[in-house]
A and B are shown apart, each in its own frame.
Chain A
């Protein structure tokens, strides 16, 4: 076994700092650098021997800008020195002059990149909207939902170390996509890809911070290391930004509650550079198409750019926000037609061919069972009716506002991984090799620690009948397969399916062919979602109860009930912990406070059905939790909350509107 290589020695290590733009948009007119002695190494755009850009699928972003600034904090220079304090002091002596647009003078013609439409809108439609909405008895409801950047900030310092040794470039860094890092460094430095070794460091990235940010920094550090011919280290915070999504939905429905048609238009602001646009449109469509059958549906998604940092992955790629809008919308439809959201769902949620091109669902009876279970446990019917009645009675709770409690229910199907139409991504492969003495080696670029690895090992054990201790993963120094970006719950959603498939293929050849038997499975070969964008075999139903604090106006969640119907559960403890973390963090990010009362609880029931590997429930949980929170808030306040995260100002505005 290869010994794990220790990060570089500290004797001649250079510490670095990235100097970035102080304006949102403009042109760099002058960069004044103080005289630097041999103790410092400066990296600018001109030091890059290869291409000065980071390519991501079909798009690219600039690595170090030397002229045009597209967003605040865009990297311009990097300065390296023998200790971080002196580098910080020296960096303060570097002065950068900018020319901002709309300033008086001859340079006023710099193009301002305020909101610009990127491409023709992505559309998805079925049925005839005109004929479906022509019935005069139809009622309509129009709502806007806005999901924008929240106050989330990551305090973790990411440490990236690059060292040249024996003609090899060793990079120590946390990353969700090691193959992309290797490719980018090779393109930027012209260093051969085979001689770049990525040593994956542990990380925690609930908002996909480690997808592209570390790649930029590692490329800069690699350029510095090659220029200075000594090891370098960059330590900084990496943040990911949430795309600004505005969803407008207009629903047509009959007075008896039956939904008829819907027109949805979505605007997505992806910051300075649009990345993963096509896949994001697929994920949004998956969440926007309701699970309730409609006669006609029209979805139009427009992507924009603006002078903010690039925004794409933020824990998911738009599915949760889209699902939130769908579930909140139909909670309101239920309310307007005199149903509780539980009764309306039981009546109108049914299998139909209309949503088959988007998500291939599991049985709807399992969804209805989950909804019924969660409703019974939370006593939802009684609570919902009582809160609604007391709200209508205008019972005064305080001098400020009326009755202020709400309960809501939401549901959704769990999806994971990229859509079946995502062809631009590499093949996302995994390889399983059965060696003599029942030794198994699993080759993947994904992280091989954490709860997911336990699931992979369990699958291999069950399928091949080997012991867990005999399963190993190749070290960083060896040639690793590119398993694609570790996003969208790929660790627990896509990877187990690929490993199971590889094991089944090995089993067919075992005792027939000589050992070792090696099988690779590509993501494209997984045929779970035949004819659909996604396949799902898990359902989530969530009920939530909240009240508005009379003094602080904070929405305080009192209790949460969850029912999950899923395939095979490998580690129930890990799954329960994950569900809890997802609910708590989603509610906090949405602007909710959790009750400090001892009676507060998150009641989770998991129903396991069948031996199939289940799709991840994380994205559906996030969407359902936010949707239930918004609907409960609406019941408590009496008016629609259009924006997430919910702040005190939004609540105050809603209360004034209601008066």
Chain B
């Protein structure tokens, strides 16, 4: 089938099987070199991408879900200013994810930050996963359980969950400060 979508800021017209997973499309058809993991749906969580700004496992997203969608991989995200907030949070907390899950954990944190700071644009698609999403409009409260659930998308256990939650909190502080300065 033919699919029109935007991947890493480039409008693409893909001709792929409708059930081909997004991870394989990115690796084989788009030639993405930062995405290396393909666990065939075992949910290892190392193939996270932002689909319409929401962190999803690309190995379980079939091609037909990409119609008119916007996909952001770590290849383009790492060059953005938002990525610096998370990098600074890693530095501040003295802990960085291992190279295997660095991209995925960073993208999940970005997804959480976008929900918490409520700067997510209106979504075109229906929510991708049935998991509860980090509620928006919660500037003052951090629902730790929901954040942990979101972070659990990545199963690499190089870092403890409490450390990750702390990193989210630090990154959120940096992000809010940036917004205040802009305003």
Contact = CB atoms under 8 A, between A and B. Distances in A.
A581 interface: yes
Contact of B94 (A576, A600, A601): A576
Given A10-B31, A580-B159, A155 B94 contact: no
Contact of A600 (B27, B39, B162): B162
Which of A85, A577, A598 is the most central at the interface, judged by chain B CB atoms within 10 Å of its CB?
Answer: A577
Contact of B37 (A15, A157, A588): A157
Interface in B23-61: 27-28, 31, 33, 36-39, 42, 44, 46
Contacts, number: 63
A312 B161 CA distance: 33
B142 interface: no
B100 A156 contact: yes
B31 A577 contact: no
A250 to B, nearest CB: 37
Classify the secondary structure of B's interface with A.
Answer: loop
B46 A581 contact: no
Interface in A21-50: none
A15 B27 CA distance: 12
A84 B36 CA distance: 16
A155 B46 contact: yes
A155 B157 contact: no
A521 B98 CA distance: 31
Nearest to A233: B28
Interface residues of B, number: 25
A584 interface: yes
Which of A84, A155, A201, A602 is the most central at the interface, judged by chain B CB atoms within 10 Å of its CB?
Answer: A155
Q: How many A residues are at the interface, by size bracket?
A: 20 to 34
B91 A600 contact: no
A581 B102 CA distance: 12
Given A235-B27, A594-B157, A596-B161, A156 B94 contact: no
Given A155-B37, A206-B100, A581 B158 contact: yes
Contact of B38 (A157, A450, A577): A157
A400 interface: no
A310 B161 CA distance: 36
Given A155-B44, A576-B95, A598 B37 contact: no
Interface in A1-25: 7, 10, 15
B97 to A, nearest CB: 8
B99 interface: yes
A159 B28 CA distance: 10
Interface string A300-325: 00000000000000000000000000
Interface of A: 7, 10, 15, 84-85, 155-159, 201, 204, 206, 235, 450, 573-574, 576-577, 580-581, 584-585, 588, 594, 596, 598, 600-602
15 contacts: A155-B37, A155-B39, A155-B42, A155-B46, A157-B27, A157-B37, A157-B38, A159-B36, A204-B98, A577-B95, A580-B95, A584-B159, A585-B157, A588-B157, A600-B162
The 4 closest A-B pairs by CB, nearest first: A155-B39, A204-B99, A156-B36, A581-B158
